[in-house]
Amino acid sequence: MTAAEKQKIAGFLDLAGDFLSSGYRGAQKDYQFEDDKVPPAGEEAQSAENSAQGDSLEKIAAEIRACADCSLGKTRTNAAPGEGVKQPLVLVIGEGPGAEEDAQGRPFVGRAGQLLDKMLASINLSRNTNCFIANVVKCRPPNNRDPYPEETAACARFLERQIALLKPKFILVAGRIAAQTLLKTTEPIGKLRGKFTEMKTETAKIPLLITYHPAALLRNETLKRPSWEDLKLLRSKIENSNGEN
């Protein structure tokens, strides 16, 4: 609805109220209305499609917070479903929540998350404008141990639904656990990173790049250089595909 239409309706209601209360018309008020924001055509169509299918990011998040399908549901403080924009240029997938993420119920908000934000910013990416951040497991493994196979399996359906709804143009995978889980491999991350592969969904083939987890960079500074090379590779891929940041 436009601001003018809102003003017209408000004026009519004020007029009706004036005549009912005193029988005289009072001074007209200017309410300073604003036009309703109309989502881009693609976003509106996508939202309608998702609603028709009966799924949404909010529904998935609610199910994750209520989930007790594996042992992590008994030990978590808060699940961290994921956060970011609904039609991301890049979906970032990590391993799982740490202590700070468990406390806040948000992904990548501790020291490693702060570093991730800086890494993304270096190639014009942000969870606030063009990225969505998620993990292969949504609850913190005790003492930050590696998640067990049955735990990643229990969470797999949530991530699959998120990917189907988000339809990212690219996927950046951070860390060994996430990479091995998604690619169903035991190859070391040193052999997996630095090159694009594809994640196949029912509707698309999404370019996927693996890099080191930010937490690994905090422990070992020698990984910063190869991680930067990975980020530059992603930026180049985005630019060559006419992606928008």
What's the pLDDT at 54? 87
- CB 243: neighbour CB atoms within 10 A? 16
- Alpha-carbon distances, residue 227 vs 91, 116, 132, 174, 221 (angstroms): 17, 11, 19, 10, 10
Q: What contacts 243, CB < 8 A, 6 or more positions away?
A: 89, 169, 170
**Could you give the percent of the chain with pLDDT greater than 70?**
77
At 44 the three-state DSSP class reads helix
Give the pLDDT mean for 136-159: 96
**Where residue 192 falls among pLDDT bands split at 50, 70, 90?**
very high
Print burial letters for 190-216: b (CB count within 10 Å at least 16), e (below 16): eebbeeebebeeeeeebbbbbbbbbbb
Tell me the DSSP string of 165-229.
HH--SEEEEESHHHHHHHHT----HHHHSSSEEEEE-SS-EEEEEEE--HHHHHH-GGGHHHHHH
Give the pLDDT mean for 2-25: 56
**Where residue 25 falls among pLDDT bands split at 50, 70, 90?**
low
Its pTM stands at: 0.78
What's the pLDDT at 18? 57
pLDDT tops 90 at residue 79: yes
DSSP lists the bridge partners of residue 84 as: 132
Chain position carrying tokens 């949530």: 158
Contact 132, 170 (CB under 8 A): no
**Where residue 134 falls among pLDDT bands split at 50, 70, 90?**
very high
Give the pLDDT mean for 64-84: 97
Give the pLDDT mean for 135-154: 96
Residue 18 structure tokens: 């004036």
pLDDT tops 90 at residue 73: yes
At 104 the three-state DSSP class reads helix
- Which domains can be identified in the chain, with CATH numbers? 1-37 (no CATH), 39-240 (3.40.470.10)
DSSP label of 131: E
DSSP label of 143: G
Q: What contacts 23, CB < 8 A, 6 or more positions away?
A: none
Q: How far is CA 129 from the centre of its chain?
A: 10
